[in-house]
Amino acid sequence: MENNVVIIGGGAAGMMAAITAARSGHKVHVLEKNEKLGKKLFITGKGRCNVTNDCDVETLLKNVVTNSKFLYSAFYSFNSQDMMAFLQELGLPLKTERGNRVFPASDKSSDVIRVLERQMKQLGVCIHLKSTAKRIVIRDGHVAAVEYDHENQKELLPASRVIVATGGLSYKSTGSDGDGYAFAKDAGHTVTKLMPSLVPLNIREDWCKSLQGLSLKNVRAEFYQGKKKLYEDFGEMLFTHYGVSGPLILSGSAYILKALEKSEPIRLCIDLKPALSFEQLDARILRDFGENINRQFGNSLSALLPSKLIPVVVELSGIDGRKTVNAISREERHQLVRLLKNLTMTVEGTRDYNEAIITRGGVSVKEINPSTMESRKVSGLYFAGEVLDLDALTGGFNLQIAWSSAWLAGNNL
């Protein structure tokens, strides 16, 4: 039992912790409730698995939204270049795409899981599938065992170290049901408020729903509450049957969660033509109007906007779509420019955990040693990955949190 390490959860953090602990000479057991390892990892990055972001540590930290200072030790001990080298040594070729996002060269998340699982087996890690941890046994302030269910049989696994790597609440279908938070609370830990993050948004306006399926590239999004700007960025977004999604919106969601708890509404303002100033866009529209001088306004915007967006813009502009272009006044044209530079909608709230990439909130990092990931309350108890109150933007940063925190835990048992 002396070197028995039990890891609860066989996802990204669990597999990394298992490999590093086994390399350090420990006897490692992984309890995974699913029939296979890495179920959430399998669907990340639309099944391509954005394993990390090829950037320096300062950039990693800048992309962490919650408790970035806690990750200094983890990121400086095991950074994204270390992770890339780690996977390449295991025989997984990688490639880097725009935004420094790193993927397996094959574009298959299953290849990432395969090399990690193969390494675990080579190191003699005992993988217990369809095994659901029920309770961490703690005696005299130290972990002693883990009780688990395997095919309706209760089992007890003695342990001198336990690493909780259960993930959060996002994508329940992968087994993320928040049991790690229950283990933490039972051990006397605080769990901060939980919310879905990196999540699509519900929009109040009906016209938004009529744009379902329309993807916009190179637009600027700004979120406001009253006069306060909560977030702004540039990129790609998607209209859906309930509102908006896409990388730009998912990143923005991480910055508006607290504001959503207040009664004051949040406005999402989209600049459809961020590369053009007001005057440049006005000149461009004037030019288009000149080429369509006798056409109706509703038929004059096809060079400027995607066809799906035209009826919405016509309606919101307040200009009669049947009006001929040569009859449109300067003020009406300026109204159109203002609309294209500031298409505004009202955020009603977020979608639920089943559509959220990650969970905001988790085990309070104040109660965890940042140099080892060990609990400050129970000796021999460690936490790694999404179960902790840590979250970052899209682009491979959340997976890097999982890898780095798990590497630190596995190396400091």
- What pLDDT sits at residue 171? 76
Residue 1, pLDDT score: 47
Contacts of 189 (CB under 8 A, 6+ apart): 363, 364, 367, 375, 377
> First vs last Cα of the chain: how many Å apart?
14
Q: Name the phi and psi angles at 342, rounded to 5.
A: -155, 60
Beta-carbon contacts of residue 327 (< 8 Å; ≥ 6 apart): none
Which segments in the chain show pLDDT lower than 50? Answer: 1
Pairing of strands 161-164, 381-383: parallel
Residue 46: the pLDDT is 86
Extended beta strands in 54-200, E state: 64-66, 94-97, 101-104, 126-128, 131-139, 142-150, 153-158, 161-164, 195-197
User: Are 387 and 192 within 8 A, CB to CB?
Assistant: no
Tokens describing residue 219: 């637009």
Burial (CB < 10 A; 0-12, 13-18, 19+), residue 291, is exposed
Say if CB 127 and CB 30 are below 8 A apart. Answer: yes
| Phi, psi at 310, each rounded to 5° | -60, -50
227-252 pLDDT, tens digit per residue, is 999 999 999 999 999 999 999 999 99
